[in-house]
Structure 1
Amino acid sequence: MAAEAAQRWESTLDSVVVYAQGAVCRRLAGGRVPQDGRVRVTGLPRSLDTGSLRVRVLGASAVRVVEARVEVEAGPANSEDSGGLRREVERLRAACSAAEARRDRQLGLVEEVAGLRPVPPTRRRDDPHRGTPTDSWLALADFVDERLTGSHARLVELEEELRRLEHDLRVAADRLERASTDMVSAQVATTVCAALTLGGDAVAEDTAAPEIEVEVEVEYRVPGAVWVPAYRLTHRQGDDSGSLVLRASVAQRTGEDWTGVRVGLSTADLRRRTDLPKLRSIRIGRRQPAPGPSGWREPPAGLADLFAGYDAAGPRPVTAGRAGSAPLAVAIGSQPAAVPPPPPAPQGYGAPPAGLPVGGPPGSMPRPASRPGGRPLPRSAPFAAAPPMAPAAPGGPVPPPPPEPVTGPPRPSGTELDYAALVLSGPDEQRSRRGRLFPAAAEDLVAAEYRRRAEEVATLPLPGCAVRPRESAGSFDHRFDATARADIPSDGTWHTVTLVEIPVGLSTEYVCVPSVETTVYATLVLSNATDRALLAGPVEVTVDDEFVLTAALPTLAPGGVRRVGLGPAESVRVTRRTELHESTSGLRGSTTVLDHRVHVQLANRLGRPVTVEVRERVPVTSEPDVRIEERADWSAPNGGEGPEHTPGTRLWRVDLPAGGTAALDGGYVIRIPAGKALAGGNRRS
């Protein structure tokens, strides 16, 4: 027992990198390397991807990892750690059932007492009429009223108790539903560990040599983790800078609680392919045989004789279950039970000889048996006797020509060439499979159920204004690391994690479009001067230590500038007045002149200077005969006409002092040939 305990190393979760969907976890474990170099690192979650296990020795050590594999162990669950909430739910459910039964019995008593009625005796034909015993009727009515009063009071108490128990049951069931999935939910605890074999020059072969103490890092991938970015923006009016705190809403249901871990967030996709495509050559000339697959060879001759001694020893004894009964459930990662070989096929017409393998690597399958005429037998009945073909009627349809036989070397698929995923079949497999390499069987249903439950976290509703990282990151991937360790339980709900504080440039500007409405809007001009991108997400804006609103921040690339709206500013007013003068010019009035004049007045009622951006527009034309002349000191947007600015947008930028006013005059002249002018049309818009 001491040697067994020395071979088990407890691991602690050190860091987690959450991707767009899924996460990569790193655990640290250490101890003294035993003489045989075999250790077990415990603490791995049940939902991990077994093909993603990576182990390495930390530090400059002569010890290296020779072998690493995932193993599953089952044992009795600790009653102190597992089932606390579940037992409470079961207790409350039983109490509710008992209270409901008591309530039903009381209802039956109430109905029984309420059904008491005086029944007169049966009167015979010759009997005289009898007087009604009024006292007896009244005594029975008093008895019924007294009993019903007590029964109804008891019924109210039972219904109140039932409602209280049902409320407690709903609360406990909700707590169990929201509880961390790291809690064992069964009487049998299934644990996953990494079985390692350590070797190297430093591992002594002599049992008298002292053991070496090393530290290993175990890395694996788990599903069931998502994140979305969020921000908190702090700004003081009058300053040209601010603080943008990058936060993230993280939800995970991986089956293990992340306690005190270093958290990293990445926008990359873990399921994206990373292998390069193969480019095959194009040959011109005579036909050449296809080259054989690299690294593949035919099964060795006489492979069936290798297990002759094993078959001569007889069947293996049954260790679990009764003979002929259904096999017991298999734990995670265990191999499926051996399937007995099929009975020999009847030797009919077209059937292959007995002992011919049914499965195997490509190239080992024989050609299918054929009927007279060269057509192969149907796959649905490869061992059934084929009836003779009837001769075709004269003038009937001509049967299709037989397919050409497949020639050349075998063509194994990519799955059969993935040697890391191939498993050598043992002697308990089918005769056609044992001793050969086949792709690993599909994962068992228990592990698949854990992964299915973990991936349900991807369907959580997003917080307000939140955007998935893959949608906002575009073609580039970014990673953000938290400056402090964090705790994220495995309960499938959103948890906020503070990552890092980013200094950004901020300035308050006011924007108005008086041609549309006379409302001035306050905005924050946010500039990203860092070398990292800011993804789209909700931002909580705080100005002068007062919360203003939660806005949607668009994706901001390094060096980019964006506006964040803060809402209407009632202290800055704007008015607009327009004039139109119509005249003609040119020889015989051949040109219509439309002179538009715009007058805008601004007033600042704040106690500080402000910058106001007034947006106007001038008409645009694609006709070469129509000319537009501008008469104003406005300017076109610096970014050009894009999604934010429509064609013909012009800007005025005015600095208003505290309590000051400003007047802006502008306009444009449209010259239209008289032949293209509208007769009686509206020329003022």
Structure 2
Amino acid sequence: MTAGTAQRWGSTLDSVVVYAQGAVCRRLARGSVPPDGRVRVTGLPRSLDPGSLRARVLGAAGVRVTEVRVEIEAEPQGTGAPDALRREAERLREEYAAARGRRDRQQVLIQEVQGLRPVPPARKREDPHRRTAVDAWLELADFVDGRLTTLHARLVELEEALVRVEHDLGVAEDRLARASTDAPSAHVTATVCAVLTLDVSGTLTDAGDAEAEVELEYGVPGAVWVPAYRLTHRQGDGTGRLVLRASVAQRTGEDWTGVRIALATADLRRRTDLSKLRSLRIGRRQPAPAPSGWREPPAGLADLFAGYAAAGPRPATTAMPGAGAAGAVSGAVSGPVPPPPPPPPAPQAPRGYGAPPVSPPPAAALPVPGGAYGGPSPAPARPGARPGAQPGGDARSFAGAPAAMAPGAPGQAPPPPSPPPAAGPPQPSGAELDYAALVLCGPDEQAGRRGRLFPDSPFDPVAAEYRRRAEAVAALPLPGHAVRPRESAGSFDHRFDAAARADIPSDGTWHTITVGEIPVGLRTEYLCVPSVEQTVYATLVLANATDQALLAGPVEVTVDDDFLLTAALPTLAPGGVRRVGLGPAEGIRVTRRTHLQESASGLRNHTTVLDHRVHVELANRLARPVTVEVHERVPVTSEPDVRVEERADWTAPEAGAGHEHHAPGTRVWRVDLPAGGTAALDGGYEIRIPAGKALVGGNRRS
């Protein structure tokens, strides 16, 4: 099948699921199925993973996909192709080089003029003394000064022009770097196609061409996302609007225009295949069953190429390597061409289809360079000789080398023995069982590969470069307070579907989209720790009542239609409660005073009693009632002889899942203050320490 014989279907990108790193795209293509069932779907990106391509038929009974392959087409780009940014950058580079050259030549000219000095003529010994020509010196100085004034003025103009061109070049290069990678290259347009083989039932074939809609699914690297939020709240209201947004950056090689976006926290590269559990048998050992479709290589396969090897190397004609992604321009090289280098060693994996595990080939099995094509065949290699050595060629190849360098000579370590072949039948990999992708190796291959089937996996440098550029978005600096979804999601995976379609170009920069609105419970509370700082802070208490977690990320807080600040929202599990700080509340004042009294008790005053008194005063200057939470801390002891007795109406904070973590000994007062009201809180605790364990002196207040 060629590009001209297969029917072409256009495709449109419908939806994208962006994972923690990478994305899965779905394209839709529709058309009439030809009689042979061969269809070529165009429009796929250059950076897609060929192993992730999947295809299925939507809503067409009697039509199914039997095979799907990835093929790349390359064709010259026309002169009218859109490449304005690249051409502008090239033009500015040339203009910058020319401006820099003019500036450098002007500097050289200034240095030449500055080097002008009056040189008196040589005087002989018998000549009388001459008077200095002052007028000539002054004329030369005036000429140099005037010339330098003109040259420096011109130099200033050239430097200003160079600065302007350098600025324009920097702007053009920045635009080119930020431009979408969906545009074709400068000279060759590479098109990635999915070649499908559709199977149509007999009833549809008799009725005529069947209409079918095909969905293609494939994975691409070069896409990342981080969550962001916008919180709108009104004072005195117990609810708020939390809008989930996402900052998405992608450089996949195709623009996402009008697609449905979904965001997932899962790792797209994590392996999901199940482990194989082999059965345990009691009794005699039985050989493992051969894989399905396995065939042993025919006997005498190596002798099939004996005559070809004896004929010597091929004629000295070399083709130029290809310069495109899918095609190559070849041409004959005239003149003498050196013999081809010896082939690289045969890879150990993957093995050829039907071939048992082989050890590295011996020296005698390697190809031996000989004379010209059609000339006398080289002599067979003698046992123990170097691979590729000619008879008597040691002196010519190694001038002055001692004969003891030959393997097996006295004083030379013997070569290591080859490893024994693995026991049992060969175990082919999944690539070796993909029969449609196997390629028969020709006679120019190494002895262990001739006439055998191997997976066709040529290295595509263009595709590797596309993937390398695509994966560069993972190193983008994150926005403020942003956290990667894999770090904030923990051991659970979540998915968020955007409510509307979005446009995200393939330029490798952050783009913000709106995902949807999340209902949350919201109330305003004020928090203070007067023992640390006598300042009251306003907080928003968020309660997640949904079945999805809220990932950590920046949240823009708007109170009463006024933007307040951008805070960091921690990860909020389903049913969890977290606080978001809003900064100091200037309308609420707090004052804390302490009093310590030390005494002794007991029959012989053997117990030291430290009586701590805490007095806290609150004043609400706001025009609305508020709830203030005051935190204090009580000492915690691990000594059984030291006791701490509390004397206050405070309570210990709740602990467990969904609650905040507090330090040991934390105590909480919750006070409701009316508008313009005040409150006084009194508390304290006694520390009873045996006299033998009490410290003398020191600061007993903290």
CA distance in 1, matches of 2:634, 2:523: 28
Equivalent residue in structure 2 for 1:470, among 476, 486, 494: 486
* Further displaced range: 590-599 or 226-235: 590-599
Post-superposition CA distance 1:125-145 (Å, at most 9, x none): 666666666665555554444
- Aligned twin of 2:168: 168
Assess, with a 3 A threshold, how the Cα gap between structure 1 residues 382 and 647 changes in structure 2: closer, same or farther.
farther
- Aligned twin of 1:67: 67
Q: Which amino acid aligns with 2:262?
A: G
Provide the identity percentage.
68
Q: Does 1:104 align with 2:104?
A: yes
Task: Check conservation: 1:37, 1:203, Cα contact below 8 A.
Answer: no
Q: Which amino acid aligns with 1:647?
A: P
Post-superposition CA distance 1:62-106 (Å, at most 9, x none): 222222111101111244444321111111111222223333333
Compute the displacement of 1:554 (Å): 0.8
Equivalent residue in structure 1 for 2:589, among 573, 582, 595: 573
Compute the displacement of 1:283 (Å): 5.5
SS at match of 2:487: helix
Post-superposition CA distance 1:217-270 (Å, at most 9, x none): 111110011111111111111000111111111111111111111111100111
Equivalent residue in structure 1 for 2:632, among 616, 620, 629: 616
Gaps of 5+ in 1: 335-339, 345-357, 371-376, 392-398
Alignment of 1:420-439 (within 5 A): 423-425=438-440, 427=442, 430=445, 432-433=448-449, 436-439=452-455
Task: Check conservation: 1:628, 1:670, Cα contact below 8 A.
Answer: yes
CA distance in 2, matches of 1:158, 1:341: 54
Task: Check conservation: 1:24, 1:222, Cα contact below 8 A.
Answer: yes
- What is the CA RMSD across the aligned residues, in angstroms? 4.1
CA distance in 2, matches of 1:422, 1:29: 25
Alignment of 1:500-519 (within 5 A): 500-519=516-535
- Aligned twin of 2:16: 16
Equivalent residue in structure 1 for 2:292, among 284, 291, 295: 295
Assess, with a 3 A threshold, how the Cα gap between structure 1 residues 138 and 669 changes in structure 2: closer, same or farther.
closer
Post-superposition CA distance 1:304-332 (Å, at most 9, x none): 49989x989x99x99xxx92344334635
Q: Which amino acid aligns with 1:297?
A: W
CA distance in 2, matches of 1:179, 1:444: 24
Q: Which amino acid aligns with 1:152?
A: H
Compute the displacement of 1:52 (Å): 0.8
- Aligned twin of 2:424: 409
Task: Check conservation: 1:362, 1:410, Cα contact below 8 A.
Answer: no
* Further displaced range: 221-230 or 114-123: 114-123
Task: Check conservation: 1:66, 1:199, Cα contact below 8 A.
Answer: yes
Q: Which amino acid aligns with 1:260?
A: G
CA distance in 2, matches of 1:296, 1:115: 88
CA distance in 1, matches of 2:150, 2:420: 93
Assess, with a 3 A threshold, how the Cα gap between structure 1 residues 591 and 658 changes in structure 2: closer, same or farther.
same
CA distance in 1, matches of 2:602, 2:128: 132
- Aligned twin of 1:349: none
Assess, with a 3 A threshold, how the Cα gap between structure 1 residues 379 and 36 changes in structure 2: closer, same or farther.
farther
Compute the displacement of 1:425 (Å): 2.0
CA distance in 2, matches of 1:4, 1:269: 40
Assess, with a 3 A threshold, how the Cα gap between structure 1 residues 141 and 593 changes in structure 2: closer, same or farther.
closer
Alignment of 1:247-646 (within 5 A): 247-282=245-280, 288-295=285-292, 297-302=294-299, 304=301, 323-329=317-323, 331-332=325-326, 361-363=354-356, 365=358, 408-412=423-427, 414=429, 419=434, 423-425=438-440, 427=442, 430=445, 432-433=448-449, 436-441=452-457, 443-639=459-655, 644-646=661-663
SS at match of 2:631: strand
SS at match of 1:164: helix
CA distance in 2, matches of 1:383, 1:155: 67
Assess, with a 3 A threshold, how the Cα gap between structure 1 residues 326 and 586 changes in structure 2: closer, same or farther.
same
Assess, with a 3 A threshold, how the Cα gap between structure 1 residues 81 and 530 changes in structure 2: closer, same or farther.
farther
Q: Does 1:86 align with 2:86?
A: yes
Compute the displacement of 1:577 (Å): 1.8
Assess, with a 3 A threshold, how the Cα gap between structure 1 residues 178 and 508 changes in structure 2: closer, same or farther.
same
CA distance in 2, matches of 1:281, 1:526: 53
Q: Which amino acid aligns with 2:653?
A: P
* Further displaced range: 212-221 or 146-155: 146-155
Q: Which amino acid aligns with 1:236?
A: R
Q: Which amino acid aligns with 2:220?
A: V
Q: Which amino acid aligns with 1:423?
A: L
Q: Does 1:234 align with 2:232?
A: yes
CA distance in 2, matches of 1:177, 1:367: 48
- Aligned twin of 1:155: 155
Q: Which amino acid aligns with 2:251?
A: R
CA distance in 1, matches of 2:385, 2:698: 80
Assess, with a 3 A threshold, how the Cα gap between structure 1 residues 581 and 134 changes in structure 2: closer, same or farther.
closer
SS at match of 1:60: coil
SS at match of 1:518: strand
Q: Which amino acid aligns with 2:356?
A: G
Compute the displacement of 1:45 (Å): 0.8
CA distance in 1, matches of 2:548, 2:587: 37
Task: Check conservation: 1:507, 1:525, Cα contact below 8 A.
Answer: yes
Q: Which amino acid aligns with 1:288?
A: R
Task: Check conservation: 1:524, 1:566, Cα contact below 8 A.
Answer: yes
Q: Does 1:671 align with 2:688?
A: yes
Equivalent residue in structure 2 for 1:647, among 656, 660, 664: 664
CA distance in 2, matches of 1:592, 1:140: 102
Q: Which amino acid aligns with 1:567?
A: G
Q: Which amino acid aligns with 1:446?
A: V
CA distance in 1, matches of 2:175, 2:686: 72
- Aligned twin of 2:41: 41
Task: Check conservation: 2:358, 2:421, Cα contact below 8 A.
Answer: no
CA distance in 2, matches of 1:35, 1:530: 52
CA distance in 1, matches of 2:670, 2:386: 81
* Further displaced range: 13-22 or 441-450: 441-450
SS at match of 1:519: strand
SS at match of 1:587: coil
CA distance in 2, matches of 1:379, 1:222: 51
CA distance in 1, matches of 2:609, 2:200: 94
Compute the displacement of 1:624 (Å): 3.1
Q: Which amino acid aligns with 1:91?
A: R
- Aligned twin of 1:353: none
Q: Which amino acid aligns with 1:570?
A: E
Q: Which amino acid aligns with 1:665?
A: D
CA distance in 2, matches of 1:650, 1:326: 81
Task: Check conservation: 1:289, 1:408, Cα contact below 8 A.
Answer: no
Gaps of 5+ in 2: 329-338, 344-350, 364-382, 392-405
CA distance in 2, matches of 1:380, 1:275: 46
CA distance in 2, matches of 1:127, 1:589: 122
Task: Check conservation: 1:421, 1:440, Cα contact below 8 A.
Answer: no
CA distance in 2, matches of 1:60, 1:297: 36
Task: Check conservation: 1:9, 1:40, Cα contact below 8 A.
Answer: yes
Q: Which amino acid aligns with 1:160?
A: E
SS at match of 1:659: coil
